[in-house]
Amino acid sequence: MLTADIRNRWLQFFGDRGHTVVPSASLVSDDPSLLFVVAGMVPFIPYLSGLVPAPYPRATSVQKVIRTNDIEEVGKTPRHGTFFQMNGNFSFGDYFKEQAISYAWELLTTSEADGGLGFDPEDLWVTVYKDDDEAIALWKKIAGLPDERIQRLDKDTNYWHTGQPGPAGPCSEIFFDRGPAYGIDGGPATDDDRYVEIWNLVFMQYQIENVRSKVDFDIVRELPHKNIDTGMGLERVAFLKQGVDNMYEIDQVRPVLDRASELSGRRYGADHEDDIRMRIIADHVRSALMLMSDGVTPSNEGRGYILRRLMRRTIRSMRLLGVEGATFPELFAASRDAMKAAYPEVETDYDRISRLAFAEEETFLRTLSAGTSILDEAVAATKSAQEPQLKGDTAFLLHDTFGFPIDLTLEIAEEAGLSVDRSAFDSLMAEQRSRAKADAKSRKVALADLSVYSAFRAAGETVFTGYDYLDTDSTILGIIVDGQSVDKAVAGDIAEVILRETSLYAESGGQEADAGSIVGNGFDLEVLDVQKPVKGLISHRVQVRSGEVGVGQAATSVVDPVYRRGATQAHSATHLIHAALRQVLGPEAHQAGSYNKAGYMRLDFNWSNPLSPDTRSEIEDIANQKIRDDLQVTTRILPLDEARAAGAMALFGEKYGDEVRMVDIGGPWSRELCAGTHVSTSSQIGLINLVGESSIGSTNRRVESLVGVDAFRDFAAERAIVGQLTSSLKAPREQLPERIAALAADLKAAEKRIAEFEAAALATRVPSLVEKASTLGALTVVIESVGQVKSSDELRSLAMNVRERLGASSASVVALAADVSGKPAVIVATTPGARDTGVKAGALARTAAGILGGGGGGKDDLAQGGGSDLSAIPAALSAIGDALRG
């Protein structure tokens, strides 16, 4: 049974039983506390928790999921995958335990010929939460399971939550027994690979808070409705139904494994370690493909770092299989062909995906080469010092800065006969993980308790009127102060205000929130920010400027018209720049992020190389030409599929509902899905001034532009500067570049002549210093203060010239001190003869610098010191003399 067939049977079964079939959400989670969707229920959390009213009583989906907490287990067990698909059926206060168990047993044990999955009931076991007697009774009643195939387990396995405050509840898991050939008897409680969990039924009925660990949390209340959340691992069922030993050998994954085998010349099944590497490659390539299809790009932080890690582990595994060249063109194509039937976007977007993947592989192969060079130097230095261990901080530097895998460091060190200080490396890694966990915890706090919004959201969605009006009369539904719902706020308070309708735009789609106010009878509120804390709800963060505001009062939202005009200009300019980029560079130059506010916009796009000045000018010219063409800007609300069919660009990482807002500027030339505010015609943008272009990663660039009056002011400032230059240089504007270049050349020549004069003047001081030479035992010494010099370089040159005049055959020491721009400096130079007696310039420089109030050092033949106390120069030089006498 193919994976796609299992998927279709699932959706058909639950669709026929009144469940709304919901498409998979993006792997990129809406929840800022989660990098990715980590479970099939994540997109439904607002409905399961009662925060947002569910649009349907029951639903089913096959959700794309990414989990990386068990990444080290990938390839080693039959069931651990980074990317997988979770079949789910959900009830939002509709049915509960009995119906959920009945559906599960029916689908699992109905024959394949009748549309089921055809499992033998004798092969199925279940586990329940230890105190859930009701579930045990239902399994006996519905499935007729005997006591010995129902096992009670504790919270660590049979109580489900997301790891953060939210919905939770006991669960019952269904396992398939693969038979004695795969492990010991004893059921799922043995935690043996013989028993494969295929379905988890979560009876979600509680709200939890203060989550201290998987098993330690506070149950604070029952949910408004008892809900059902189930999850069946599609890949797990697939490998059981396809008669293979693990998820890496199913039809959607095995082609990548086979291609890795062919490229390496190593047969799958011949060597245990090689098999693990091939399974890692198969999993990670598919995971990377699916992440990039949802808009994630490789980077050094967040989601991009996880993607980069997966890709680099793949490259490392291919290297361990003996392949050192590029393999992504072969491996990603194999994964695309295996996944495109279920996810057509991996084929339609493959040009973009492959360009990013191939560039990342090329970059990391160079990184491996550079890292190997650094590691080779460290190995040589370690062996030269006759030390048995490579330092842990060296291994960590290679790992953290260069992305050089620790196992590769271990391998190369071992080949050189060295070990690596793993304890030091692990300690540094632990510190890094601790920082990462602290960061993750801080993200979770941001959504620690959204329940404060549930009552407001239950009243319906906030109506946004700002596309048509700048002022809107409304009613205050709620006031929140310090996370708590209150009845009123008074002058000076910072609060959140929930309105039934608002004309103020909430930050989204790269556009900053509107500036403005909320006013009413006896109160005036300054709007500091506008956000969407939960889907469908708009919250205004305000400061009460005057009066007292209370729940239920009439209020008017007022948008600052000047700010809104600038914001619409900037957002529409973003669309023009994006379209101009694609016209000049081609369709692969796709937006990867944007930010705009009144007077300014920036746009990130997928591209590897810097834009030349001519290319930047061409993009700017095209965008400004479209402004002059006074193109009509139109918006339409239409179904998502219809918008895509019309050629509208859906930007990666953005979430879209069934109906979308499509913005056209000049018809299809610029056609994007966008909820932002825009001008009516392109001429209202006024002017675009492209002021910056830079790299934000190996495969992404950023352009920045001033817009409207800000662009004009910047040009006006440049005009004023040009006017000053033409007046000062007495040259027309068109001759300024040549005139400035000529002045720069004259200045360089003058500086060279001055340097020559200064060097000659410095040389005249050498004879008088040589004449001051005296003897200290067997040494000839010159220890003098030379007054003021321009730089330490001059002082160094003077000391070296004096040393040269004293002669290399003598045992001489030269120590000169000077005032360099108000700070004391000392230079010590020695001849070979002096060094033979044990004199070291570095030690002498440090001695003097300590008295000068600073530090110093250098080599035995030449060293430098400095400090902050000019008056200490005589004492510092005297200390050098004392040291030489000693």
Binding site: what residues are annotated? Answer: 571, 575, 674, 678
Q: How many CB atoms lie within 10 A of CB 832?
A: 13
Measured distance between the N- and C-terminal CA atoms of the chain, rounded to whole angstroms: 90
Asked if 794 contacts 830 with a C-beta cutoff of 8 angstroms, the reply is: no
Strand 774-776 vs strand 779-789: parallel, antiparallel, or unpaired? Answer: antiparallel
- Token code pair at residue 133: 């007697």
Contacts with 718 (C-beta within 8 Å, 6 or more apart), sequence order = none
Six token digits for residue 236: 């797990």
In 294-421, which ranges are continuous DSSP H helix? 302-320, 328-339, 345-348, 350-384, 392-402, 406-415
CA–CA distance, 483 with 453 (Å, rounded to integer): 10
Give yes or no for a contact between 794 and 762, defined as CB atoms under 8 angstroms apart. Answer: yes
Question: Which phi and psi angles does 543 have, rounded to 5°?
Answer: -115, 130
Dist CA 439 CA 441 (whole Å): 5
Q: How many CB atoms lie within 10 A of CB 414?
A: 11
Find how far residue 249's CA is from the centre of its chain. Answer: 31
Rounded Cα distance, 840 and 880, in Å: 11
Cα 771–Cα 775–Cα 779 angle in degrees, nearest 5: 115
Which element (helix H / strand E) includes 203?
Answer: strand 195-209
Helix residue ranges, H only, 557-708: 561-585, 613-628, 640-645
Spatial distance between the Cα atoms of 879 and 852, rounded to a whole number of angstroms: 11
Beta-sheet strands, E only, within 74-142 = 83-92, 124-129
The burial of 772, by beta-carbon neighbours within 10 Å (0-12 exposed, 13-18 middle, 19 or more buried), is given as: exposed
**Separation of alpha carbons 176 and 106, rounded Å:** 15
Q: For residues 651 and 675, give the distance between their C-alpha atoms in angstroms, rounded to a whole number.
A: 12
Count other C-beta atoms under 10 Å from residue 655's C-beta.
13
Residue 502 token pair: 């608002």
Please tell me the distance from the alpha carbon of residue 581 to that of residue 176, in angstroms, as a whole number: 54
Beta bridge partners of 203: 228
Report the alpha-carbon distance of residue 857 to residue 866 in Å, rounded.
Answer: 10
Which segments are annotated as binding site for Zn(2+)? 571, 575, 674, 678
**CA neighbours within 13 Å on the CB side: how many for 304?**
15
- Cα–Cα distance list, 870 to 35, 794, 815, 858 (Å): 57, 18, 16, 21
CA atoms of 110 and 330, how far apart (whole Å):
40
CA gap 807, 310 in Å, rounded = 63
